[in-house]
Amino acid sequence: MTELLAPGATLERLFTGAVWAEGPVWIPQERVVRWSDIPNDRILAFDATTGTTRVHREHVEYTNGRTLDREGRVVQCSQGRRSVEREIDGEPVTIVDRWEGGRFNSPNDVVVASDGTIWFTDPPYGILESGREGHPGEQEYGGCYVFRLDERTGEVRPVVTELERPNGIAFSPDESVLYVSDTSETTPAIHAYDVDVARGEVSGGRVFATVEPPASDGFRVDVEGRVWTSSGDSVQVLAPDGALLLRVPVPEVVANVCFGGEDGHDLYVTATTSLYRIRTATTAAPRPAPPA
Ligand code: MG
């Protein structure tokens, strides 16, 4: 089997001091990992050049997962605004916050496809009574769906409706498979779907893998189609057939991961109070070219 980690790679702790760290993304032009500290309602930024972490923004309405769009701009979920937003000149601009008149629950994680469509999960964690990760509120459309937004037409469409707590989301390298985790307490699993990105059609749902201990809160797919996912006590690497290839123990409960670094080989890990990094022997899957 090909090696998954760089020779001698060890897990480094880069920052500690968050309450619940989530939603990392690598921003190449800044050489920064930006992530959410959800209960503290702030966004943090680790500068890979200086090795230091700063507060990027505070009072951010409980952002969670984020990604980059086709132009390299940050697209992120706000559990407090119950929206998906884009950061433009340092300010959040709402992209979408409702479907058929009902507000979303609390968008959790997001991915942008090669054609620019935005796919995101909408569990209710941000509107629970605790108010720890948002503002207590009602579920307005009555479900917890995965949505696809086409900004060119403005169409918002539910694409996955049968999961209890849809959470992490990613495409396979060729965008033929959509992975969505369900972080429900009773049936946690990563589900796989056959997907037609351009048509926004999803079919053939099946359980791709379950990780032990749960849950697969967030994950990224590498260039070989392997899924690098959080689990309760580690990062686990799953083959495209769902087989467990590697387990990297982490001393805190892991929420999410992203690839980054100059050559894309670094895996950044948000885990409860801390940001970690480990050197891998692979990189994130490049997005396919947009359709002609
Ligand atoms: Mg999540």
| N-term to C-term CA, the chain | 36
Q: What confidence score (pLDDT) does residue 288 get?
A: 81
Show the DSSP H helices in 123-271 as ranges.
none
Closest of 84, 176, 75 to residue 122, by C-alpha: 84
Pairing of strands 166-171, 177-182: antiparallel
Task: Copy the structure tokens of residue 113.
Answer: 């496809």
CATH of 19-227, one of 2.120.10.30, 1.10.3290.10, 2.60.40.1930, 3.40.50.1370: 2.120.10.30
Q: Does residue 292 contact residue 59 with C-beta atoms inside 8 Å?
A: no
Q: What confidence score (pLDDT) does residue 2 get?
A: 64
Q: What confidence score (pLDDT) does residue 165 get?
A: 98
C-alpha separations of 289 from 71, 115, 116, 201, 286 in Å: 13, 8, 11, 19, 9
Place of tokens 């990094």: 277
Q: What's the 19 CA to ligand 1 centre distance in angstroms?
A: 15
Closest of 220, 157, 211, 206 to residue 188, by C-alpha: 211
Q: Examine residue 255 and say whether the peptide bond preceding it is cis (omega within 30 degrees of 0).
A: no
Q: What confidence score (pLDDT) does residue 287 get?
A: 81
Q: What confidence score (pLDDT) does residue 141 get?
A: 97
Q: What's the 225 CA to ligand 1 centre distance in angstroms?
A: 20
Q: Where are the domains of the chain?
A: 19-227
Q: Does residue 124 contact residue 139 with C-beta atoms inside 8 Å?
A: yes
How do the pLDDT tens digits run along the chain, 292 residues long? 469 999 999 999 999 999 999 999 999 999 999 999 999 999 999 999 999 999 999 999 999 999 999 999 999 999 999 999 999 998 999 999 999 999 999 999 999 999 999 999 999 999 998 889 999 999 999 999 999 999 999 999 999 999 999 999 999 999 999 999 999 999 999 999 999 999 999 999 999 999 999 999 999 999 999 999 999 999 999 999 999 999 999 999 999 999 999 999 999 999 999 999 999 999 999 888 877 6
pTM for the whole structure: 0.97
Q: What's the 292 CA to ligand 1 centre distance in angstroms?
A: 32
C-alpha separations of 94 from 29, 86, 199 in Å: 23, 6, 24
Closest of 209, 6, 227 to residue 111, by C-alpha: 227
Q: What's the 138 CA to ligand 1 centre distance in angstroms?
A: 20
Q: Does residue 61 contact residue 79 with C-beta atoms inside 8 Å?
A: yes
Q: What's the 215 CA to ligand 1 centre distance in angstroms?
A: 10
